[in-house]
Structure 1
Amino acid sequence: MRVEIWGDIACPWCYVGKARFEQGLAAFAHRDEVEVVYRSFELDPKAPAGVTAPVTEMLAQKYGRTPEEARGMEEHVAGTARAEGLPYEVDGRLHGSTFDIHRLLHLAAARGRQSELLDLAYRANFAGQGSVYEPEGLVALAVAAGLDEAEARATVADPEAYAAEVRADEREAAELGANSVPFFVFDRRYGVSGGQPAALFTQALEQAWAGREPESAGAADAEACEPDGACAVPQG
């Protein structure tokens, strides 16, 4: 069985959702027969390359909040991530184009190191353990994930390398009706949206394996991130 996961490393609920899905997968009896493929979805496809801004500044502008309120929004997400055992730094995080890391993730998929690079990219973005917004940082992450440095460097330097693959993923997401991430597709038959609880992912895997439509497909959406960088946050 194949599970495809659309997400963006700028999406905190994708960070949380990956951890919860992996917990759910670990509890699935046929886990060794599941192929997991990560697909590209840019939250802010219009973000210019090489230009970054503080995440709290972006949130304040987008939601019309004060800097203090924007920081509180970040603290809310950070608390959820930390509850899953994931490191999360509120201060100093940046927002920018993620197109290059998506291209590099496609190289990693071709070399069998996609999950490793994705984990490192999430830690770089959310825990301050590297950089996903500048070339040398991307190359360093690729090497740490086990990729060849020369090949990674050449991929980062060529804006068309794996660009078609990223755009194909994004077209497929639109065709499947995915308007927020994370978005999980089981054997191209069933979809689950948002950073759902681990137990729900186990249930979805079991029911997809059995060939029945999972109840999770009709469950209420969990926290997710929408295009242009919008993420579900507490209002008030």
Structure 2
Amino acid sequence: MRVEIWSDIACPWCYIGKARFEKGLESFAHRTDVEVVHRSFELDPGHAKGEVGPVIDMLAAKLGRSRQEALAMEERVASHARSEGLGYLVGARDHGNSFDIHRLLHLAKARGRQGELLSIVYRVNFAEERSVYDTRTLVDLAVEAGLDEAEAREVLADEGAYADDVRADEREAAELGATGVPFFVLDRRYGVSGGQPAEVFTQALEQAWQGRAITPVGGDGEAGACDADGACEIPQAHTHS
């Protein structure tokens, strides 16, 4: 069974959703028979390449909020990330155009290292004070994921490399009706939206495996997503027993 996950590294709920999905997959009896493929989705495709700035400033401007309100929003998302054991530095990350990162992820997919690179980029973007929009940093992360340094540099230098693959993913997302991320598609028959709790993913995998329609999920206060305008829904605060 194939699970395709549309996401953007700029999306905190994609970061959280990936961790929750992996926990849910770990509890799935047929997990060794599941192929996971990560697909591209840009939350801010119109953002000028090379124009990089603090995410707090971007959120405040885009949502019409004060910097303090934007920081409070980040703090609420951070609490969800930390509840999953993920690092999250509030206000420390940059915002920029993610197209080159998606192209590099397609190179990693071709070399069988996509999951590794995505995890590393998420960690650095959300939990470390390094910018993933810096070419030198991206090359270093590619090497850390097991990619060839020269090949990674070559792909980043060639703006056409894997560009068609990124655009194809984005067209498919639109055709499937995805208006935000993370968006999970199981066997091209079932869809799950948002960073759902791990047990929801386990249930969805079980139902898809059995060929049953997935019961609609939501309303539990734990699923969050970022929409195509870059705004992120923040569920109510929760605790895990």
Amino acid at match of 1:139: V
Question: Quick one: distance in 1 between partners of 2:188 and 2:141?
Answer: 31
- Say if 2:217 is the partner of 1:219: yes
Q: Given the superposition, is the C-alpha separation of residues 51 and 112 from structure 1 closer, same or farther in structure 2, using an over 3 Å criterion?
A: same
1:188 CA drift (Å)? 0.2
- The letter of the residue matching 1:69 is E
Contact 1:51 1:97 survives alignment (8 Å): yes
Q: Per-residue deviation at 1:91?
A: 2.6
Which runs of 5 or more structure 2 residues have no equivalent in the other structure?
237-241
For 1:228 and 1:125, the matched residues in 2 are separated by: 20
**SS of the residue aligned with 2:146?**
coil
Instruction: Give how far 1:234 is off.
Output: 6.5
Residue 206 of structure 2: SS of its match in structure 1? helix
When structure 1 is superposed on structure 2, of 35-44 and 86-95 the one drifting more is 86-95
In the TM superposition, residue 220 of structure 1 has moved relative to its aligned partner by 2.2
Aligned to 2:239: none
After alignment, is 46-55 or 179-188 more displaced?
A: 46-55
Equivalent residues in 2 for 1:26-175, closer than 5 Å: 26-128=26-128, 130-175=130-175
2:4 paired residue number: 4
User: Partner amino acid for 1:192?
Assistant: V
Q: Provide the rounded CA distance (Å) in 2 between the counterparts of 1:65 and 1:46.
A: 21
Aligned partners of 2:9, 2:174: CA distance in 1, in Å?
18
> Contact conserved, 2:21 with 2:201, CA < 8 A, in 1?
yes
How far 1:230 sits from its partner (Å)? 1.2
* CA displacement 1:71-106 (0-9 Å, x = unmatched): 000000011101100000013211110000000000
Checking the alignment, whether the CA contact within 8 Å between 1:130 and 1:141 is kept in structure 2 is no
Residue pair 1:13, 1:181 contacting (<8 A) in 2 also: yes
Give 5+ residue unaligned stretches, structure 1.
Answer: none
In structure 2, the residue corresponding to 1:38 is in which secondary structure? strand
Per the TM alignment, residue 129 of structure 1 is displaced from its structure 2 partner at its CA by 5.7
1:195-229 residue CA offsets vs partner (Å, 9 max, x unmatched): 000000000000100011111xx222731001132
Q: Which residue of 2 aligns with 1:194?
A: 194
Show the counterpart of 1:179: 179
CA RMSD of aligned residues (A): 1.2
User: 2:218 & 2:197 partners in 1: Cα distance?
Assistant: 12
Is 2:224–2:235's contact at 8 Å kept on the other side of the alignment?
Answer: no
Question: Could you tell me the TM-score, scaled by structure 2's length?
Answer: 0.94
CA contact (8 A) 1:45 1:228 kept: no
Q: What is the count of residue pairs matched by the alignment?
A: 233
**Identity, % of aligned positions:** 68
Q: Report SS of the residue matched to 2:38.
A: strand
Which residue number corresponds to residue 231 of structure 2? 230
| CA distances 1:154-209 after superposition (whole Å, capped 9, x unpaired) | 00111110000000000000000000100000000000000000000000000100
